[in-house]
Amino acid sequence: MLEVAGLNAFYGDSHILHGVDLTVDTSDRVSVLGRNGSGKTTLMKSILNAGPRIYGRICLDGADLADEPSFQRARSGLSLVPEDRRSFPHLTVRDNLLIALTAAGKRTGLDIEQVLDTFPMLKPLTARYGSQLSGGQQQMVAVARGVMPRPRCLLLDEPTEGLAPVIVRQLAASLVRLCDEFNIGLLLSEQNIWFARFCTQRVYIIENGRIVFSGSWDEFDSRPDVKHLYLAV
């Protein structure tokens, strides 16, 4: 469904991603693990054409996205939830979710009540403004907003950063339920191995902008050297 091949990304003269290859099949859930500064966020932004200068091939359902701008990639079925959440502080939770339906284009997005059912924490907060939410509540809004257009593939960047463990567990359960129920593929950038393992079936590890491991979680577990070399702090 989503195929990235030979992806190179630059900020100015800085070469950040080096020949990255990865795939996310239909309804597949895939993690990208790596230390801070390894290239995870640049990868997410590159797939949506949202910042870096990129070279390489990015295809969705076999269609080469080539030089399509970010808004067109969103309408084609990609949805990015950035690491800094970016909820609209002057809009209510309900309006923060509804505004995301514009990204669906000609596709049919999800009904807001379906999404709120999956995020029970948000149900009593629908009339509250974005500026009145805690960090955990803002993250729930950001993820819920990301799925409102019913994307083919959800790109989720560092969603657990700064969240309390109880919120991390609630977010994990809601995310898996949403992807399964609505047939949404997931590409998750993360450092929390527990969260990544709970939410996904396959894992890539990125280091200095290069993919250094790919496989199932069982294959990851069989390679303690990989965890020590590329994930230990």
pLDDT tens per residue across span 183-219: 999 999 999 999 999 999 999 999 999 999 999 999 9
Question: Is the pLDDT assigned to residue 233 strictly greater than 70?
Answer: no
How many whole angstroms separate alpha carbon 100 and alpha carbon 81? 11
How many whole angstroms separate alpha carbon 192 and alpha carbon 116? 25
Residue 160's SS3 state is: coil
Protein fold of 2-230: Rossmann fold (3.40.50)
Instruction: With 0.85 as the threshold, say if the pTM is over it.
Output: yes
Using alpha carbons, select from 60, 233, 90 the residue that is nearest to residue 155: 60
pLDDT tens per residue across span 41-91: 999 999 999 999 999 999 999 999 988 999 999 999 999 999 887 888 999
Contacts of residue 82, defined as CB under 8 A and 6 or more positions apart, other chains included, come to 44, 142, 157
pLDDT, residue 55, reads 94
pLDDT tens per residue across span 166-188: 999 999 999 999 999 999 999 99
Question: Is the pLDDT assigned to residue 232 strictly greater than 90?
Answer: no
What is each CA distance from 114 to 118, 119, 192, in whole angstroms? Answer: 7, 9, 28
pLDDT tens per residue across span 26-40: 989 999 999 999 999
Question: Is the pLDDT assigned to residue 158 strictly greater than 90?
Answer: yes
pLDDT tens per residue across span 94-136: 999 999 999 998 889 999 999 999 998 899 999 999 999 998 8
